[in-house]
Amino acid sequence: MSSEEDAPDSTSEFWADEAARRVAESGRPPVVKGGVSPSGVPHVGNFNEVLRGAFVVRALERRDDVSGEPRQVFTSDDRDPLRRVPHTVLSPEGELVELDAEERDELSEHLGKPYVDVPSPFGEGSWAEHFASFLRDDAEKLEVPVEFVSNDELYDDGRFDEPIRAALSNLDVSREVIARHQRTAGDDYVPFMPICDDCGRITPTVTAVNLDDETVDYVCDEADLGGETIEGCGHSGTATFREGKLPWRFEWPAQWMILNVGFEPFGKDHAEGSWESGVEIAEEVYDIKPPEPLVYEFFLVDGDKMSASAGNVYTVSDILRYVEPTVLRYFFALDPKKQRDLSLADVHHLVNDFDRVEDAYYGREEAADSTEKLYAERVYEDLRSPTDDLSHEPVRPPYTFAAMVGVAEDDEARLNTLRRSGHLPEDATETQKQDALRRVELARNWALDYDNQYAVRVLDEAPDTEFDEDTRAAFGDLADVVESGASPDEIQNAVFETAREHDLDVGGFFGDGYRLFLGQDSGPKLGPLLGALDREFVVERLRSA
RNA sequence: GGGCCGGUAGCUUAGUCCGGUUAAAGCACCUGGCUCUUAACCAGGUGACCGAGGGUUCAAAUCCCUCCCGGCCCGCCA
């Protein structure tokens, strides 16, 4: 390995390979975990957790020095308590909706209860299920083979019994470790929070620990959950280890223990607090080796952090309205340590970067730099769906070009334009045609939603503009040419010819053409534009001028 | 108070870990081509004192130190 030929060249290592190497070389199990608390809105940021892990699983699969089948699990931390009622939630249709006062009142009845016991604001099922179903659907759309695990079920099934026993039987150690990280944890701290038998809320006040029968006694007191004080009902009771939960700092490492986790990506929010305490709790309380970590930066969207209250939260589906799943996977394959901006307004840059990687992979273009080379040679295959046939070469017309091609309504017209411009091979397969049409659709969505310069809009009705007699006559001649089935190039030429025949200024006539169809003074090359539109429509519009 | 990330052509970034030929790409812009006009295609070109200062070195965008600016996170819960 240390001979000169094998020495690493100047290209750097894909971060997922580096992570996989750390897992393998330290002898950790090839199990990648992630997880979220089902609060707020399930947004595209949550897929940091899912996709970063997915790339590491793929990297582990390439190695022959790991024991066992690499896999990815993802916990829904659905026994966490509802701490505050959000103003905005995601409807079953995936729309952000505001909750009205009545709905919020109803939900506030459930403050302090585990998410599995909070009803969904949309009727069917629990809050937790509602939230998790989005993550599952989105993971499927991005074709990530991840196994979702309900934390609540792990408790019910007794999987947490062992770590709970460890934490409670060595209370001195638990208290000492937690005190290093959490000032509020005093001498009477007990790392277990029972669910009140009476009101169903999670309460932190444990009055006695009975190790022999694996229960705790509690009083349902007020709970201070992250600045939100939630009233208790005053009930006194006894709870088993399965009728409560560990506090987050103890729960996370307990999950590592239960699920045999060897690698875990997490956001920078965990990097200082719960990760550091988690490592110590894993080693000193549970006597296990913590997983290899990967701290990722949060990304911004259009320059701002996502925030439900600010109304700029994006789901995976929102992004997939503009780009192929493969392109979104590419975004998540970029260096996780760098904070970046997922700019939707300028998403054509991201798409273009991806296209270049794809071009380099298929040898259509030279890689521009070492990073592009690395992504083409090492990463590209992981961007494609695991079920995809790599010998299938996707056809992806340039994004901004595709946006304009989208001015034509029907598929045949779009394909013709693409074929003529050299972006679709004559012998394209059915799948390649679908690739191309998909790209046109996505780019068109983007151009129209952002109403940018690529949003070419044809007027539904002829404009009020008065054209002079010569111009109208020229339009009439042009109509005849179009009606005869002229090609885009022939139409382009006909514009020049008819202008001259009618003694019109060529530039002015072009302008009139744009005014007639687009209601503006200029636009894309007129011949291809008219050629792409429905023939009868064009003829009718020309003659109606 | 602590931590992470960034400051490279007009814009967005790659390159920084592992220092080494004229600092790379896309977009924008300009020019040329497509028989003639302009934003759909093709080819080429202009464009950067690499945030500031100091240090190490034969050699610094890259390593070290100090500082300035911007973004985000943590310090209670999760």
- What's the whole-number average pLDDT of chain A? 90
Q: Mean pLDDT, to the nearest integer, of A520-524?
A: 85
Distance from residue A475's CA to nucleotide B43's C1', rounded to whole Å: 34
Whole-number Å distance between alpha carbons of A366 and A362: 10
Rama region for A298: left / alpha / beta (φ>0; ψ in -120 to 50; rest):
beta
Question: Does position A119 have pLDDT exceeding 80, yes or no?
Answer: yes
| CA-based nearest residue to A279, from A268, A291, A269 | A291
- Mind giving me the DSSP string for A58-103? HHHHT-SS-SS--EEEEEE-TTSBP-S--SEEE-TTS-EEEPPHHH
Distance from residue A460's CA to nucleotide B5's C1', rounded to whole Å: 48
Distance from residue A369's CA to nucleotide B60's C1', rounded to whole Å: 20
Please give the protein residue whose CA is closest to the C1' of the nucleotide B37.
A507
Whole-number Å distance between alpha carbons of A220 and A199: 9
Question: Which pLDDT score is estimated for A226?
Answer: 66
Please give the protein residue whose CA is closest to the C1' of the nucleotide B70.
A303
Q: The tokens 């792409």 sit on which residue? A: A532
A1 falls in which pLDDT band (50, 70, 90)? very low
Q: Are strands A228-230 and A223-225 parallel, antiparallel or unpaired?
A: antiparallel
Distance from residue A304's CA to nucleotide B38's C1', rounded to whole Å: 37
Identify whether the C-beta of residue A455 lies closer than 8 Å to the C-beta of residue A483.
no
Distance from residue A269's CA to nucleotide B67's C1', rounded to whole Å: 28
Please give the protein residue whose CA is closest to the C1' of the nucleotide B39.
A524
Tokens at residue A184, please? Answer: 């509020």
Residue of higher predicted confidence among A254 and A391: A254
**Residues A456-480: tens digit of each pLDDT:** 889 988 888 888 888 999 999 999 9
The single-letter code of the amino acid at A116 is V
| CA-based nearest residue to A376, from A396, A360, A352 | A360
Distance from residue A392's CA to nucleotide B2's C1', rounded to whole Å: 51
- Angle of the A325-333 helix axis to the A47-61 helix axis, nearest 10: 80
Sign of torsion over alpha carbons A69, A70, A71, A75: positive
Distance from residue A468's CA to nucleotide B33's C1', rounded to whole Å: 34
Tokens at residue A257, please? Answer: 């223990």
Question: Does position A291 have pLDDT exceeding 50, yes or no?
Answer: yes
Nearest nucleotide by C1' position to the A225 CA atom: B77
**Residues A130-170: tens digit of each pLDDT:** 999 999 999 999 999 999 999 999 999 999 999 999 999 99
Q: Mean pLDDT, to the nearest integer, of A74-97?
A: 91
| CA-based nearest residue to A151, from A124, A123, A128, A174 | A128
Nearest nucleotide by C1' position to the A423 CA atom: B41
* % pLDDT > 90, chain A: 61
Q: Mean pLDDT, to the nearest integer, of A79-87?
A: 91
Question: Which pLDDT score is estimated for A289?
Answer: 95
Residue of higher predicted confidence among A3 and A461: A461
Question: Does position A7 have pLDDT exceeding 70, yes or no?
Answer: no
SS3 A475: helix
Identify whether the C-beta of residue A514 lies closer than 8 Å to the C-beta of residue A471.
no
Distance from residue A347's CA to nucleotide B68's C1', rounded to whole Å: 32
* % pLDDT > 70, chain A: 98
Question: Does position A191 have pLDDT exceeding 80, yes or no?
Answer: yes
Distance from residue A454's CA to nucleotide B40's C1', rounded to whole Å: 10
Question: Which pLDDT score is estimated for A11?
Answer: 52
Nearest nucleotide by C1' position to the A525 CA atom: B40
Identify whether the C-beta of residue A191 lies closer than 8 Å to the C-beta of residue A168.
yes
Phi first, then psi, for residue A195 (nearest 5°) are -95, 125
Residue of higher predicted confidence among A68 and A465: A68
The single-letter code of the amino acid at A456 is V
Distance from residue A538's CA to nucleotide B37's C1', rounded to whole Å: 21
Identify whether the C-beta of residue A414 lies closer than 8 Å to the C-beta of residue A439.
no
Identify whether the C-beta of residue A67 lies closer than 8 Å to the C-beta of residue A29.
yes
User: Other C-beta atoms within 10 Å of A12: how many?
Assistant: 13
SS3 A164: helix
Please give the protein residue whose CA is closest to the C1' of the nucleotide B35.
A493
Nearest nucleotide by C1' position to the A406 CA atom: B40
Please give the protein residue whose CA is closest to the C1' of the nucleotide B78.
A248
Identify whether the C-beta of residue A270 lies closer than 8 Å to the C-beta of residue A39.
no
Nearest nucleotide by C1' position to the A202 CA atom: B77
Chain B positions under 7 Å from a protein CB?
2-6, 12-18, 24-28, 35-42, 70-78
Please give the protein residue whose CA is closest to the C1' of the nucleotide B2.
A272
- Mind giving me the DSSP string for A106-159? HHHTTTTSBGGGSBPTTSSSBHHHHHHHHHHHHHHHTT---EEEEHHHHHHTTT
Question: Which pLDDT score is estimated for A4?
Answer: 32
Whole-number Å distance between alpha carbons of A30 and A147: 14
Question: Which pLDDT score is estimated for A462?
Answer: 87
Nearest nucleotide by C1' position to the A532 CA atom: B40
Q: Mean pLDDT, to the nearest integer, of A498-517?
A: 89
Q: Mean pLDDT, to the nearest integer, of A486-502?
A: 87
Question: Does position A114 have pLDDT exceeding 50, yes or no?
Answer: yes
Whole-number Å distance between alpha carbons of A323 and A352: 11
Give ipTM to 2 decimals.
0.91
Tokens at residue A127, please? Answer: 């809050």
Residues recorded for chain A: 545
Nearest nucleotide by C1' position to the A9 CA atom: B18
Question: Which pLDDT score is estimated for A363?
Answer: 87
- Which residues are CB-contacts of A283 (< 8 A; sequence separation ≥ 6)? A289, A290
Nearest nucleotide by C1' position to the A506 CA atom: B37
Distance from residue A400's CA to nucleotide B60's C1', rounded to whole Å: 39
Question: Does position A8 have pLDDT exceeding 70, yes or no?
Answer: no
Nearest nucleotide by C1' position to the A401 CA atom: B40
Q: Mean pLDDT, to the nearest integer, of A68-79?
A: 95
Whole-number Å distance between alpha carbons of A93 and A90: 8
Distance from residue A341's CA to nucleotide B15's C1', rounded to whole Å: 19
Please give the protein residue whose CA is closest to the C1' of the nucleotide B11.
A346
Question: Does position A54 have pLDDT exceeding 60, yes or no?
Answer: yes
Distance from residue A525's CA to nucleotide B31's C1', rounded to whole Å: 19
Question: Which pLDDT score is estimated for A132?
Answer: 93
Distance from residue A369's CA to nucleotide B23's C1', rounded to whole Å: 12
A420 falls in which pLDDT band (50, 70, 90)? confident
Please give the protein residue whose CA is closest to the C1' of the nucleotide B75.
A273
Question: Which pLDDT score is estimated for A488?
Answer: 83
Q: Mean pLDDT, to the nearest integer, of A11-20?
A: 86
Q: Mean pLDDT, to the nearest integer, of A269-279?
A: 91
Nearest nucleotide by C1' position to the A533 CA atom: B40
Nearest nucleotide by C1' position to the A353 CA atom: B26
Whole-number Å distance between alpha carbons of A33 and A49: 8
Whole-number Å distance between alpha carbons of A89 and A92: 10
Question: Does position A9 have pLDDT exceeding 50, yes or no?
Answer: no
Whole-number Å distance between alpha carbons of A237 and A198: 9
Question: Which pLDDT score is estimated for A507?
Answer: 85
Q: The tokens 């970067």 sit on which residue? A: A353
- Angle of the A347-361 helix axis to the A430-450 helix axis, nearest 10: 160
Identify whether the C-beta of residue A51 lies closer than 8 Å to the C-beta of residue A386.
no
Question: Does position A423 have pLDDT exceeding 90, yes or no?
Answer: no
**Residues A353-410: tens digit of each pLDDT:** 999 999 989 988 888 888 888 999 999 999 998 888 898 899 999 999 999 899 888 8
Tokens at residue A100, please? Answer: 């009205």
Question: Which pLDDT score is estimated for A32?
Answer: 97
Q: The tokens 């045609």 sit on which residue? A: A433
SS3 A202: strand
Distance from residue A404's CA to nucleotide B30's C1', rounded to whole Å: 24
Nearest nucleotide by C1' position to the A250 CA atom: B78
Tokens at residue A177, please? Answer: 């470790």
Say which range, A109-113, A198-202, A207-211, A463-467, has the weakest mean pLDDT.
Answer: A463-467
Question: Does position A205 have pLDDT exceeding 60, yes or no?
Answer: yes
